[in-house]
Protein backbone atom coordinates (compact mmCIF):
# COMPACT_ATOMS: atom_id res chain seq x y z
CA UNK A 1 0.00 0.00 0.00
CA UNK A 2 1.16 3.54 -0.70
CA UNK A 3 3.18 5.23 2.06
CA UNK A 4 0.77 8.17 1.95
CA UNK A 5 -2.27 5.96 2.61
CA UNK A 6 -2.75 7.46 6.07
CA UNK A 7 -2.95 10.93 4.56
CA UNK A 8 -5.61 9.78 2.10
CA UNK A 9 -7.71 8.04 4.74
CA UNK A 10 -7.69 10.97 7.20
CA UNK A 11 -8.09 13.84 4.73
CA UNK A 12 -11.54 15.50 4.55
CA UNK A 13 -13.19 14.27 1.32
CA UNK A 14 -13.86 17.73 -0.12
CA UNK A 15 -10.28 18.88 0.48
CA UNK A 16 -8.75 15.73 -1.00
CA UNK A 17 -10.98 16.06 -4.05
CA UNK A 18 -9.96 19.71 -4.48
CA UNK A 19 -6.26 18.81 -4.17
CA UNK A 20 -6.48 16.08 -6.80
CA UNK A 21 -8.53 18.21 -9.17
CA UNK A 22 -5.89 20.96 -8.89
CA UNK A 23 -3.39 18.31 -10.07
CA UNK A 24 -5.67 17.40 -13.02
CA UNK A 25 -6.78 14.11 -11.45
CA UNK A 26 -10.40 13.70 -12.50
CA UNK A 27 -12.76 11.24 -10.81
CA UNK A 28 -15.98 9.93 -12.33
CA UNK A 29 -19.23 11.50 -11.12
CA UNK A 30 -20.14 8.40 -9.11
CA UNK A 31 -16.76 8.19 -7.31
CA UNK A 32 -17.30 7.46 -3.59
CA UNK A 33 -15.29 10.12 -1.72
CA UNK A 34 -16.81 9.05 1.60
CA UNK A 35 -16.05 5.34 1.34
CA UNK A 36 -17.00 3.72 4.63
CA UNK A 37 -14.03 3.41 6.95
CA UNK A 38 -11.72 5.09 4.41
CA UNK A 39 -9.70 1.86 4.43
CA UNK A 40 -7.71 -0.17 1.92
CA UNK A 41 -10.48 -0.15 -0.69
CA UNK A 42 -10.63 3.65 -0.67
CA UNK A 43 -6.86 4.02 -0.95
CA UNK A 44 -6.79 1.62 -3.89
CA UNK A 45 -9.55 3.57 -5.61
CA UNK A 46 -7.38 6.72 -5.35
CA UNK A 47 -4.42 4.74 -6.68
CA UNK A 48 -6.57 3.71 -9.65
CA UNK A 49 -7.30 7.38 -10.37
CA UNK A 50 -3.60 8.23 -10.24
CA UNK A 51 -2.70 5.31 -12.50
CA UNK A 52 -4.65 6.98 -15.30
CA UNK A 53 -2.21 9.90 -15.37
CA UNK A 54 0.82 10.09 -17.67
CA UNK A 55 3.81 8.48 -15.97
CA UNK A 56 5.68 11.72 -15.18
CA UNK A 57 2.59 13.42 -13.83
CA UNK A 58 1.69 10.36 -11.77
CA UNK A 59 5.15 10.28 -10.20
CA UNK A 60 4.95 14.00 -9.41
CA UNK A 61 1.58 13.75 -7.64
CA UNK A 62 2.61 10.68 -5.66
CA UNK A 63 5.87 12.34 -4.61
CA UNK A 64 3.92 15.38 -3.38
CA UNK A 65 1.53 13.18 -1.41
CA UNK A 66 4.51 11.35 0.09
CA UNK A 67 6.05 14.64 1.20
CA UNK A 68 2.82 15.90 2.76
CA UNK A 69 2.45 12.58 4.57
CA UNK A 70 5.88 13.05 6.21
CA UNK A 71 4.61 16.34 7.70
CA UNK A 72 1.30 14.95 8.97
CA UNK A 73 2.16 14.51 12.64
CA UNK A 74 2.13 16.56 15.86
CA UNK A 75 5.33 18.41 14.93
CA UNK A 76 3.94 19.20 11.49
CA UNK A 77 0.77 20.58 13.07
CA UNK A 78 2.73 22.82 15.43
CA UNK A 79 4.95 24.02 12.57
CA UNK A 80 1.93 24.70 10.37
CA UNK A 81 0.22 26.69 13.09
CA UNK A 82 3.16 28.92 13.90
CA UNK A 83 4.28 29.46 10.29
CA UNK A 84 0.72 30.27 9.20
CA UNK A 85 0.27 32.60 12.18
CA UNK A 86 3.38 34.48 11.10
CA UNK A 87 2.07 34.74 7.53
CA UNK A 88 -1.49 35.75 8.48
CA UNK A 89 -3.04 32.54 7.14
CA UNK A 90 -6.21 31.65 9.06
CA UNK A 91 -6.54 27.97 10.00
CA UNK A 92 -9.78 28.35 11.93
CA UNK A 93 -12.29 25.64 11.07
CA UNK A 94 -9.87 23.30 9.32
CA UNK A 95 -10.12 19.62 10.25
CA UNK A 96 -6.68 18.60 11.43
CA UNK A 97 -3.20 18.45 9.97
CA UNK A 98 -4.20 16.60 6.77
CA UNK A 99 -6.75 19.30 5.95
CA UNK A 100 -4.20 22.04 6.68
CA UNK A 101 -1.46 20.52 4.53
CA UNK A 102 -3.72 19.91 1.55
CA UNK A 103 -5.12 23.44 1.82
CA UNK A 104 -1.61 24.89 1.86
CA UNK A 105 -0.58 22.72 -1.09
CA UNK A 106 -3.53 24.10 -3.06
CA UNK A 107 -3.53 27.76 -2.03
CA UNK A 108 -0.07 28.47 -0.54
CA UNK A 109 2.45 26.02 -2.04
CA UNK A 110 5.44 28.15 -1.00
CA UNK A 111 4.40 27.79 2.65
CA UNK A 112 4.83 24.00 2.48
CA UNK A 113 8.61 24.38 2.25
CA UNK A 114 8.56 26.66 5.30
CA UNK A 115 6.41 24.21 7.25
CA UNK A 116 8.80 21.42 6.25
CA UNK A 117 11.83 23.38 7.50
CA UNK A 118 10.13 24.26 10.78
CA UNK A 119 8.93 20.67 11.28
CA UNK A 120 12.53 19.49 10.99
CA UNK A 121 13.60 22.13 13.49
CA UNK A 122 11.01 20.87 15.95
CA UNK A 123 11.93 17.22 15.49
CA UNK A 124 15.64 17.68 15.94
CA UNK A 125 15.88 20.71 18.22
CA UNK A 126 18.57 20.02 20.78
CA UNK A 127 20.07 17.10 18.89
CA UNK A 128 22.73 16.48 16.30
CA UNK A 129 22.78 19.07 13.55
CA UNK A 130 21.32 21.81 15.78
CA UNK A 131 22.80 24.48 18.03
CA UNK A 132 21.31 27.39 19.95
CA UNK A 133 23.28 30.53 20.76
CA UNK A 134 22.60 33.24 23.36
CA UNK A 135 23.68 36.79 22.53
CA UNK A 136 23.84 39.68 24.97
CA UNK A 137 21.72 42.74 24.32
CA UNK A 138 24.55 44.80 22.87
CA UNK A 139 22.55 48.03 23.19
CA UNK A 140 20.85 47.80 19.77
CA UNK A 141 18.11 45.66 18.19
CA UNK A 142 19.08 42.99 15.68
CA UNK A 143 19.18 44.11 12.05
CA UNK A 144 17.22 41.10 10.80
CA UNK A 145 15.42 43.03 8.06
CA UNK A 146 18.57 44.66 6.69
CA UNK A 147 18.98 43.43 3.10
CA UNK A 148 22.70 44.22 3.08
CA UNK A 149 23.18 42.14 6.24
CA UNK A 150 21.21 39.28 4.71
CA UNK A 151 23.29 39.36 1.54
CA UNK A 152 26.55 39.46 3.49
CA UNK A 153 25.43 36.53 5.66
CA UNK A 154 24.51 34.53 2.54
CA UNK A 155 28.01 35.13 1.14
CA UNK A 156 29.48 33.86 4.41
CA UNK A 157 27.30 30.75 4.22
CA UNK A 158 28.69 30.04 0.76
CA UNK A 159 32.23 30.42 2.11
CA UNK A 160 31.55 28.18 5.12
CA UNK A 161 30.06 25.50 2.86
CA UNK A 162 33.13 25.88 0.63
CA UNK A 163 31.21 25.77 -2.64
CA UNK A 164 32.26 27.37 -5.90
CA UNK A 165 31.20 30.96 -6.56
CA UNK A 166 29.11 29.96 -9.56
CA UNK A 167 26.82 27.78 -7.41
CA UNK A 168 23.30 29.14 -7.14
CA UNK A 169 21.81 30.10 -3.79
CA UNK A 170 18.58 31.43 -2.37
CA UNK A 171 17.51 32.61 1.10
CA UNK A 172 13.87 32.39 2.18
CA UNK A 173 13.22 34.75 5.13
CA UNK A 174 9.83 34.61 6.87
CA UNK A 175 8.03 35.20 10.17
CA UNK A 176 6.49 32.59 12.45
CA UNK A 177 4.72 32.77 15.80
CA UNK A 178 5.64 30.49 18.69
CA UNK A 179 3.11 30.07 21.48
CA UNK A 180 4.21 29.13 24.99
CA UNK A 181 2.47 25.85 25.85
CA UNK A 182 1.63 26.96 29.40
CA UNK A 183 1.11 30.71 29.33
CA UNK A 184 -0.09 31.11 25.74
CA UNK A 185 2.38 33.98 25.27
CA UNK A 186 3.16 34.68 21.62
CA UNK A 187 6.71 35.27 20.41
CA UNK A 188 7.51 36.41 16.89
CA UNK A 189 10.35 34.45 15.34
CA UNK A 190 12.27 35.45 12.22
CA UNK A 191 13.28 32.35 10.31
CA UNK A 192 15.39 31.71 7.28
CA UNK A 193 16.12 28.68 5.15
CA UNK A 194 19.15 29.09 2.94
CA UNK A 195 19.40 26.83 -0.08
CA UNK A 196 22.78 26.36 -1.75
CA UNK A 197 23.47 24.36 -4.89
CA UNK A 198 25.90 21.60 -4.04
CA UNK A 199 28.00 19.34 -6.23
CA UNK A 200 26.01 17.20 -8.63
CA UNK A 201 25.92 13.42 -8.25
CA UNK A 202 25.79 10.82 -10.99
CA UNK A 203 22.94 8.32 -10.78
CA UNK A 204 21.45 5.64 -12.98
CA UNK A 205 17.96 6.35 -14.34
CA UNK A 206 15.77 5.32 -17.23
CA UNK A 207 15.97 7.92 -19.98
CA UNK A 208 13.64 8.87 -22.82
CA UNK A 209 14.66 5.76 -24.75
CA UNK A 210 13.51 3.51 -21.89
CA UNK A 211 17.06 2.31 -21.34
CA UNK A 212 19.32 2.94 -18.37
CA UNK A 213 21.37 6.10 -18.61
CA UNK A 214 23.71 7.82 -16.21
CA UNK A 215 22.30 11.25 -15.32
CA UNK A 216 23.54 14.14 -13.22
CA UNK A 217 21.32 15.00 -10.26
CA UNK A 218 21.87 18.45 -8.78
CA UNK A 219 21.93 18.40 -4.97
CA UNK A 220 20.91 21.20 -2.62
CA UNK A 221 22.26 21.89 0.88
CA UNK A 222 20.08 23.65 3.46
CA UNK A 223 21.00 25.85 6.41
CA UNK A 224 18.21 26.88 8.79
CA UNK A 225 17.96 29.81 11.21
CA UNK A 226 15.35 30.69 13.83
CA UNK A 227 15.90 34.06 15.50
CA UNK A 228 14.19 35.09 18.74
CA UNK A 229 15.09 38.77 18.94
CA UNK A 230 13.26 39.20 22.27
CA UNK A 231 15.25 36.52 24.11
CA UNK A 232 18.34 37.17 21.96
CA UNK A 233 18.61 33.51 20.96
CA UNK A 234 19.42 32.24 17.48
CA UNK A 235 19.01 28.58 16.54
CA UNK A 236 21.14 27.18 13.73
CA UNK A 237 20.42 23.91 11.96
CA UNK A 238 23.12 22.72 9.59
CA UNK A 239 25.42 19.86 8.85
CA UNK A 240 29.10 19.99 9.62
CA UNK A 241 29.59 19.70 13.37
CA UNK A 242 30.08 22.18 16.19
CA UNK A 243 32.94 24.17 14.62
CA UNK A 244 30.87 24.82 11.50
CA UNK A 245 27.83 25.98 13.47
CA UNK A 246 30.11 28.22 15.53
CA UNK A 247 31.15 29.87 12.27
CA UNK A 248 27.50 30.48 11.34
CA UNK A 249 26.86 31.98 14.78
CA UNK A 250 29.90 34.25 14.49
CA UNK A 251 28.77 35.41 11.04
CA UNK A 252 25.23 36.02 12.32
CA UNK A 253 26.58 38.17 15.16
CA UNK A 254 28.88 40.09 12.82
CA UNK A 255 26.14 41.04 10.36
CA UNK A 256 22.95 41.22 12.42
CA UNK A 257 24.15 42.03 15.96
CA UNK A 258 27.58 43.69 15.64
CA UNK A 259 27.30 45.36 19.08
CA UNK A 260 26.92 42.02 20.88
CA UNK A 261 29.72 40.06 22.44
CA UNK A 262 30.65 36.65 21.08
CA UNK A 263 27.63 34.29 21.12
CA UNK A 264 27.41 31.64 23.84
CA UNK A 265 26.13 28.20 22.89
CA UNK A 266 23.12 27.17 24.97
CA UNK A 267 21.90 23.59 24.52
CA UNK A 268 18.13 23.39 24.08
CA UNK A 269 16.63 20.70 26.25
CA UNK A 270 13.18 20.17 27.70
CA UNK A 271 13.22 21.37 31.31
CA UNK A 272 11.44 19.62 34.17
CA UNK A 273 10.59 22.26 36.72
CA UNK A 274 8.09 20.14 38.65
CA UNK A 275 11.19 18.69 40.33
CA UNK A 276 11.43 22.05 42.12
CA UNK A 277 7.90 21.96 43.54
CA UNK A 278 9.39 20.78 46.84
CA UNK A 279 12.81 21.46 48.35
CA UNK A 280 15.12 19.41 46.10
CA UNK A 281 18.11 17.38 47.19
CA UNK A 282 20.92 18.54 44.96
CA UNK A 283 23.21 15.52 45.03
CA UNK A 284 26.88 16.34 44.53
CA UNK A 285 30.15 14.48 44.68
CA UNK A 286 33.44 15.61 46.27
CA UNK A 287 35.04 15.84 42.84
CA UNK A 288 32.42 18.42 41.81
CA UNK A 289 33.81 20.99 44.22
CA UNK A 290 30.30 22.31 44.81
CA UNK A 291 29.98 24.09 48.14
CA UNK A 292 26.32 25.08 47.98
CA UNK A 293 23.32 24.95 45.62
CA UNK A 294 20.20 27.03 46.09
CA UNK A 295 17.06 27.95 44.21
CA UNK A 296 17.25 31.73 44.15
CA UNK A 297 14.03 32.51 42.27
CA UNK A 298 10.82 30.83 41.09
CA UNK A 299 8.35 32.13 38.50
CA UNK A 300 4.76 30.90 38.52
CA UNK A 301 1.85 31.09 36.11
CA UNK A 302 -1.76 30.71 37.19
CA UNK A 303 -4.40 29.03 35.05
CA UNK A 304 -6.37 32.25 35.48
CA UNK A 305 -3.69 34.20 33.65
CA UNK A 306 -1.67 35.63 36.55
CA UNK A 307 2.09 35.67 36.97
CA UNK A 308 4.09 35.69 40.20
CA UNK A 309 7.82 35.81 40.84
CA UNK A 310 9.56 35.14 44.14
CA UNK A 311 13.25 35.72 44.88
CA UNK A 312 15.28 34.55 47.82
CA UNK A 313 16.30 37.54 49.93
CA UNK A 314 17.28 36.44 53.43
CA UNK A 315 20.40 34.41 54.18
CA UNK A 316 18.72 32.56 57.02
CA UNK A 317 15.98 30.78 55.05
CA UNK A 318 15.42 29.20 51.67
CA UNK A 319 12.83 30.34 49.15
CA UNK A 320 10.79 27.28 50.12
CA UNK A 321 10.85 28.22 53.79
CA UNK A 322 9.83 31.77 52.89
CA UNK A 323 6.85 30.66 50.79
CA UNK A 324 5.72 28.26 53.51
CA UNK A 325 6.07 30.88 56.25
CA UNK A 326 4.37 33.62 54.25
CA UNK A 327 1.59 31.71 52.47
CA UNK A 328 1.26 28.30 54.10
CA UNK A 329 -1.33 26.15 52.32
CA UNK A 330 -1.94 29.02 49.88
CA UNK A 331 1.65 28.88 48.60
CA UNK A 332 1.79 28.43 44.80
CA UNK A 333 3.94 25.37 45.54
CA UNK A 334 1.05 23.74 47.39
CA UNK A 335 -2.19 25.21 46.10
CA UNK A 336 -3.65 24.09 42.79
CA UNK A 337 -3.67 26.10 39.59
CA UNK A 338 -0.06 27.30 39.64
CA UNK A 339 2.66 26.04 37.28
CA UNK A 340 6.39 26.74 37.65
CA UNK A 341 7.51 28.31 34.38
CA UNK A 342 11.02 29.50 35.32
CA UNK A 343 13.64 29.05 38.01
CA UNK A 344 17.12 30.34 38.75
CA UNK A 345 19.78 28.25 40.50
CA UNK A 346 22.94 29.53 42.16
CA UNK A 347 25.77 26.99 42.27
CA UNK A 348 28.62 28.02 44.57
CA UNK A 349 31.98 26.50 43.64
CA UNK A 350 34.50 26.16 46.47
CA UNK A 351 37.90 27.80 46.37
CA UNK A 352 40.55 25.37 45.16
CA UNK A 353 43.79 25.21 43.18
CA UNK A 354 44.54 28.83 44.00
CA UNK A 355 41.21 30.04 42.61
CA UNK A 356 38.70 32.02 44.62
CA UNK A 357 35.21 30.86 45.43
CA UNK A 358 32.81 31.64 42.58
CA UNK A 359 29.12 31.33 41.75
CA UNK A 360 27.57 29.94 38.57
CA UNK A 361 24.01 31.08 37.89
CA UNK A 362 21.69 29.24 35.51
CA UNK A 363 18.10 30.10 34.56
CA UNK A 364 15.65 27.45 33.36
CA UNK A 365 12.50 28.42 31.48
CA UNK A 366 9.75 26.19 30.14
CA UNK A 367 9.49 24.56 27.75
CA UNK A 368 13.15 24.31 26.71
CA UNK A 369 15.26 27.36 27.46
CA UNK A 370 18.39 27.04 29.60
CA UNK A 371 20.65 30.05 29.90
CA UNK A 372 24.15 30.11 31.33
CA UNK A 373 25.51 33.37 29.87
CA UNK A 374 29.07 34.66 29.89
CA UNK A 375 30.61 31.42 31.09
CA UNK A 376 33.29 29.20 29.60
CA UNK A 377 32.42 26.09 27.65
CA UNK A 378 33.92 24.02 30.48
CA UNK A 379 31.54 25.65 32.98
CA UNK A 380 28.57 25.10 30.71
CA UNK A 381 29.29 21.39 30.32
CA UNK A 382 29.82 21.08 34.06
CA UNK A 383 26.52 22.79 34.92
CA UNK A 384 24.50 20.87 32.35
CA UNK A 385 25.95 17.65 33.74
CA UNK A 386 24.65 18.64 37.18
CA UNK A 387 21.23 19.55 35.77
CA UNK A 388 20.97 16.12 34.16
CA UNK A 389 21.93 14.45 37.44
CA UNK A 390 19.26 16.45 39.27
CA UNK A 391 16.70 15.43 36.59
CA UNK A 392 15.96 19.03 35.68
CA UNK A 393 16.63 18.29 32.01
CA UNK A 394 15.02 15.69 29.79
CA UNK A 395 17.43 13.34 27.96
CA UNK A 396 18.75 14.76 24.68
CA UNK A 397 17.13 13.50 21.48
CA UNK A 398 19.03 10.77 19.67
CA UNK A 399 18.77 11.98 16.09
CA UNK A 400 20.66 12.39 12.86
CA UNK A 401 21.28 15.63 11.01
CA UNK A 402 18.41 18.06 10.74
CA UNK A 403 18.27 18.54 7.01
CA UNK A 404 18.77 16.04 4.25
CA UNK A 405 20.08 16.91 0.83
CA UNK A 406 17.52 16.59 -1.92
CA UNK A 407 17.54 16.64 -5.69
Q: What is the pLDDT of residue 398?
A: 59
pLDDT digits (tens, 9 = 90+) for 223-240: 999 999 988 999 999 988
Q: What is the pLDDT of residue 404?
A: 43
Q: Are the CB atoms for 71 and 115 separated by under 8 Å?
A: yes
Nearest to 136 by CA among 269, 249, 248, 257: 257
Q: Can you give the pLDDT at residue 36? A: 65
Quote the mean pLDDT of the chain: 88
Q: What percent of the chain has pLDDT over 70?
A: 94
Structure confidence by residue, pLDDT tens digits, 326-347: 999 999 999 889 999 999 999 9
Please tell me the predicted confidence (pLDDT) of residue 401.
43
Asked whether the beta carbons of 236 and 249 are under 8 A apart, the reply is: yes
Band the pLDDT of 199: cuts 50, 70, 90.
Answer: confident
The phi and psi torsions of 292 (rounded to 5 degrees) equal -160, 145
pLDDT at 217: 77
Quick one: which of 61, 40, 65 has its CA closest to 52? 61
State residue 407's pLDDT score: 34
Whether 32 contacts 44, CB under 8 Å? no
- Predicted confidence at residue 373, as pLDDT, reads 65
Contact 297, 322 (CB under 8 A): no
Give the separation between CA 335 and CA 356, rounded to whole angstroms: 41
- Cα separation, 63 vs 57, in Å, equals 10
Element spanning 254, H or E? helix 242-256
Q: Is the pLDDT of residue 124 over 50?
A: yes
**Which has more pLDDT, 371 or 258?**
258
Q: Residue 371: helix, strand or coil by DSSP? A: strand
Amino acid sequence: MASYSGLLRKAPPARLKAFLEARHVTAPDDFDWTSEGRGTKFVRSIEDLLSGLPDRQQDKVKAELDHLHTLADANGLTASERVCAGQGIDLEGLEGIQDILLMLAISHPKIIDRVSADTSLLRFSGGKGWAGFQLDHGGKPWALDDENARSAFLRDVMDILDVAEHRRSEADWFKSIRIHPTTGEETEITQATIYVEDRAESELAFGASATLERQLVQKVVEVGLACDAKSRIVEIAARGGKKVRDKYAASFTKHFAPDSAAPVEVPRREVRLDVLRSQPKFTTEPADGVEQVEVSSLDFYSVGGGFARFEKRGEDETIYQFLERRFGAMSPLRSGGWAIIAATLRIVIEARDGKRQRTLTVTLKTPNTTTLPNKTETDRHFVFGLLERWELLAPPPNTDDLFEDFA
